[in-house]
Structure 1
Amino acid sequence: MTLDLTADQRLFQQTAREFLAETVPVPTVRALGEAGTGFDDRWWRSAAELGWTAMLVAEEYGGGSVSGRPMTELALIATELGRACAPGPFVTTNAVLAGLATARPALADTVTRIAAGISIVSWAVYEPGRGLDIVNALADRDAPPDGEWARAVRDGAGYRLTGVKDRVEAGDRADILLVTAQSADGPVQLLVPTDAPGVTVTPTWTLDLVRRTARIEFAEVAVPAESVVHTGAAAAAAVRAQLHTAAVLTAAETVGATGKAMEATLAWLTDRFTFGRPLASYQALKHRMADNKTWYEACRATAAAAAAACDDDPESAAEAVSVAKSYVGAKAPVIGQDCVQLHGGIGVTWEHDLHLYLRRIGLGRALYGTPEEHRRRITDLLLTAA
Structure 2
Amino acid sequence: MDVGLTEDQIALQETTRRFLEEQSPIGALRRLADKDESFDPAVWRQGAELGWVGLFVPEDHGGFSEGFQGVVDAAIVAEELGRVVFSGPFHAVATVAFAVAQAGSDAQKAALLPALVSGDAIAAWCLSGTGAQSGVEPGGLAVTTRGDDHVIDGIAGYVQDAAIAQHLLVTARSDAGLSQFLIPTDTPGVTILPLELVDLGRRLAHVRFEDVVIGAEALVGEAGAAAAQVERQLQVAVALQCAETVGVVDRALEFTLDYVKQRYAFGRPIGGFQALKHRLADHVTQLEGAKAAAAYAAKAIQDESPDAAIAVSVAKSQCGKWGTEIVRDCLHMHGGIGMTWEHDIHFYLRRAVSNEALWGTPAAHHERLCALAGL
TM-score in terms of structure 1 length: 0.92
Counterparts in 2 of 1:285-304, with a 5 A limit? 285-304=276-295
For 1:215, the equivalent position in structure 2 comes to: 206
Contact 2:75–2:239 (CA under 8 A) maintained in structure 1: yes
Q: Is the 8 A contact 2:316 2:365 kept in 1?
A: yes
Give 4+ residue runs of structure 1 displaced > 6 Å after superposition. Answer: none
Q: Which amino acid aligns with 1:62?
A: G
CA contact under 8 A between 2:58 and 2:65: conserved in structure 1?
no
Is the 8 Å Cα contact of residues 130 and 157 (structure 2) preserved in structure 1?
yes
Change (3 A) 1:35 1:158: farther
Q: Note the C-alpha offset of 1:114.
A: 1.8
Q: Is the alpha carbon distance of 1:351 and 1:66 closer, same or farther for their aligned partners in structure 2, counting shifts above 3 Å?
A: farther
What corresponds to 1:91 in structure 2? 91
5 Å matches for 1:166-245? 166-232=157-223, 234-245=225-236
- The question of whether the paired residues in 2 share the 8 Å contact of 1:3 and 1:305 is answered with no
1:245-269 per-position Cα deviation (integer Å, ceiling 9, x unaligned): 1100111101101011101110001
Q: Distance in 1 between matches of 2:306 and 2:171?
A: 20
Match of 1:111 in 2: 113
Q: Are the aligned partners of 2:152 and 2:211 in contact in 1 as well (CA < 8 Å)?
A: yes
1:187 and 1:231 in contact (8 A); partners too:
no
Please list every run of 5 or more consecutive structure 2 residues that lacks an aligned counterpart in the other structure: none
SS of the equivalent of 1:55 reads helix
Q: Which stretch has the larger CA shift, 231-240 or 50-59? A: 231-240
Give the aligned partner of residue 265 of structure 2: 274
Amino acid at match of 1:124: C
Unpaired stretches in structure 1, ≥5 consecutive residues: 139-143
Compared with structure 1, are the counterparts of its residues 340 and 239 closer, same or farther at alpha carbon in structure 2 (3 Å cutoff)?
A: same
Partner of 1:129: 131
Q: Distance between the aligned counterparts of 1:60 and 1:315, measured in 2?
A: 29
Question: In the alignment, residue 85 of structure 1 is paired with which amino acid?
Answer: V
Partner of 1:72: 72
Q: How does 1:304-319 map to 2 (within 5 A)?
A: 304-319=295-310
Structure 2 residue identity aligned to 1:91? H
Number of positions where the alignment pairs a residue of Structure 1 with one of Structure 2: 372
Q: For residues 17 and 226 of structure 1, what CA distance do their matches in structure 2 show?
A: 40
Residues 196, 244 of structure 1: alpha-carbon distance in 2 compared, 3 angstrom cutoff? same
Q: What SS does structure 1 have at the residue aligned with 2:77?
A: helix
Tell me how far apart the structure 1 counterparts of residues 170 and 73 of structure 2 sit (CA, whole Å): 26
1:371 is aligned to 362
Q: CA deviation at 1:296?
A: 0.8
Shift of 1:218: 1.2
Tell me, in whole angstroms, the C-alpha distance in 2 between the residues paired with 1:81 and 1:234: 34
Indicate conservation of the 8 Å contact 1:36/1:210, yes or no.
Answer: no
Structure 1 position 315, deviation (Å): 4.9
Q: Do the aligned partners of 1:9 and 1:66 also contact (CA within 8 Å) in 2?
A: no
Which amino acid in structure 1 is aligned with residue 333 of structure 2? Answer: L
What is the CA–CA distance in structure 1 between the aligned matches of 2:274 and 2:307, rounded to whole Å? 44
The answer to whether 1:157 aligns with 2:159 is no
3-state SS of the aligned residue for 2:374? helix
Query: Which residue number corresponds to residue 102 of structure 1?
Result: 103
* Percent of matched pairs sharing the same residue: 40
- The CA distance in 1 between the partners of 2:40 and 2:271, in whole Å, is 40
Greater shift in the superposed pair: 15-24 or 109-118: 109-118
Cα distance, 1:98 vs structure 2? 2.2
Deviation at residue 280 of structure 1 after TM alignment:
1.7
1:66 touches 1:73 (CA, 8 Å); kept in 2?
A: no
For structure 1, which segment, 226-235 or 370-379, has the greater mean C-alpha deviation from structure 2 after superposition?
226-235
Report the counterpart of residue 360 of structure 1 in structure 2.
Answer: 351
Partner of 1:141: none
> 1:205 and 1:304, CA in 2 relative to 1: closer, same or farther beyond 3 A?
same
Q: Secondary structure at the match of 1:205?
A: coil
Q: Distance in 2 between matches of 1:9 and 1:228?
A: 35
Contact map agreement 1:198 1:218 (CA 8 A) in 2: yes
> 1:116: how far off?
2.0
Say if 2:62 and 2:113, in contact at 8 Å, map to a contact too: no
What's the CA shift string for 1:140-181, capped at 9, x where partnerless?
A: xxxx7xxxx312221333312211112010111010111111
2:30 aligned partner: 30
Q: CA deviation at 1:227?
A: 0.9
1:3, 1:367 → 2: CA distance?
Answer: 26
The one-letter code of the counterpart of 1:253 is E
RMSD: 1.8
Q: Is the 8 A contact 1:186 1:231 kept in 2?
A: no
Separation of aligned partners in 1, 2:123 and 2:150: 20
Higher mean Cα deviation, 340-349 or 243-252? 340-349
The answer (yes or no) to whether the contact 2:82–2:245 under 8 Å persists in 1 is yes
